[in-house]
Amino acid sequence: MIYTNKQLYRAGCVPKNCGTQLYRVGCVPKNRGTQLYRAGHVPKNRRTQLYRAGHVPKNRRTPIRRCTRCSDLRKAEANMSFSGEVKEELSRLIPEARHCQLAELAAITGMCGSVCISASGRWSLKFHTENISVARKCFTLLQKTFNICSGVSVRLHKGGKNGTQIYTLLVRDHESVKNILRALKLLDEEGEVAEQVSPANQLLVQKSCCRRAFIRGAFLASGSISNPERSYHFEIACTSQERARQLGALIHAFGPDAKIVQRKKYFIVYIKEGAQIVDMLNIMGAHVSLMNLENIRIIRDMRNTVNRKVNCEAANINKTVGAAVRQMEDIRYLMEHRDVETLPEGLADIALLRLAHPDASLKELGEMLVPPIGKSGVNHRLRKLSRLAEDSRARQGGI
Per domain, the residue ranges of the chain are: 5-64, 82-285, 317-396
- End-to-end CA distance of the chain, in Å? 123
> What's 185's DSSP letter?
T
E strands along the chain, which residues?
A: 113-117, 123-129, 152-157, 166-171, 223-225, 234-238, 259-263, 266-271
Cα torsion for 212, 216, 219, 225, to the nearest 10°?
90
pLDDT of residue 163: 57
The closest of 171, 182, 169 to 138, measured between CA atoms, is 169
CA distances from 261 to 149, 228, 236, 237 (A): 40, 21, 11, 10
Q: What whole-number distance in Å separates Cα of residue 212 and Cα of residue 95?
A: 10
Q: What whole-number distance in Å separates Cα of residue 254 and Cα of residue 276?
A: 10
3-state secondary structure of 237: strand
CATH architecture of 82-285: Roll (3.10)
pLDDT of residue 351: 84
| Predicted confidence pLDDT, tens digits, the chain (399 residues) | 444 555 545 655 555 455 455 445 455 555 555 555 455 555 555 555 544 555 545 444 444 333 434 444 344 444 468 888 999 999 999 998 999 999 999 899 888 888 888 888 888 888 888 888 888 888 888 888 888 764 555 666 665 555 567 888 888 888 888 888 888 888 876 777 654 555 677 888 889 999 999 999 999 999 999 998 888 999 999 988 888 998 999 999 999 999 999 998 899 999 999 899 999 999 999 999 999 999 999 998 899 899 999 999 898 888 888 888 888 888 888 888 776 667 777 788 888 888 888 888 888 888 888 888 888 888 888 888 888 888 888 887 644
pLDDT of residue 65: 37
pLDDT of residue 199: 65
* Tally of CB atoms within 10 A around 24: 13
pLDDT of residue 118: 85
**Half-sphere exposure in the Cβ direction for 147 (13 Å, CA):** 0
CA angle 20, 21, 23 (to 5 degrees): 65
Q: Does the CA dihedral 350-354-360-362 come out positive or negative?
A: positive
Q: What whole-number distance in Å separates Cα of residue 335 and Cα of residue 209?
A: 81
pLDDT of residue 326: 87
pLDDT of residue 268: 94
pTM of the model: 0.63
**Which residues are CB-contacts of 248 (< 8 A; sequence separation ≥ 6)?**
258, 259, 260, 269
Q: At what angle do helices 132-146 and 174-183 cross, to 10 degrees?
A: 90
pLDDT of residue 49: 54
Residue 174, strand partner residues:
none
Cis peptide before 43 (omega within 30 of 0): no
Q: How would you list the strands of the sheet with 259-263, edge to edge?
A: 223-225, 234-238, 266-271, 259-263
